[in-house]
């Protein structure tokens, strides 16, 4: 059982897109760390979108899924920020 979690998580036979899972883990870590450090979600959102925009042309074709997952996470946090500001706010 030792060491099997890595093979289970990143093996292509177990899941369909292991690089996407890795991208979600990296993007979630970046989003959480910058959210905690900056006390707001705007800075990590912009950081994730810009980082993914830089990574897409630089990474090899097999790893573009990592950048796509980070970009999707950044766009979803931007959508959440807009919803929080304009829809969920009681003063809106």
pLDDT in tens, 21-80: 888 888 888 888 888 888 788 888 998 899 899 998 998 888 888 888 889 999 999 999
- pLDDT for position 78: 92
The pLDDT confidence band at residue 6, using thresholds 50, 70 and 90, is low
Q: What is the domain count for the chain?
A: 1
**Distance between CA atoms of 19 and 27, rounded to whole angstroms?**
12
Domain that holds residue 55: 16-86
Inside any domain, residue 62: yes
> Which residue would you say has higher pLDDT here, 45 or 8?
45
């Amino acid at each position: 059982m030792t060491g099997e979690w890595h093979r289970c998580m990143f093996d292509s036979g177990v899941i369909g897109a292991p690089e996407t899972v890795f991208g979600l883990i990296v993007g979630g870590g970046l989003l959480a760390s910058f959210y905690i450090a900056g006390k707001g979600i705007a800075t990590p959102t912009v950081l994730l979108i810009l980082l993914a925009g830089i990574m897409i042309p630089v990474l090899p074709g097999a790893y573009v899924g990592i950048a796509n997952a980070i970009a999707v996470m950044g766009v979803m946090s931007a959508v959440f920020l807009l919803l929080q500001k304009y829809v969920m706010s009681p003063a809106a």
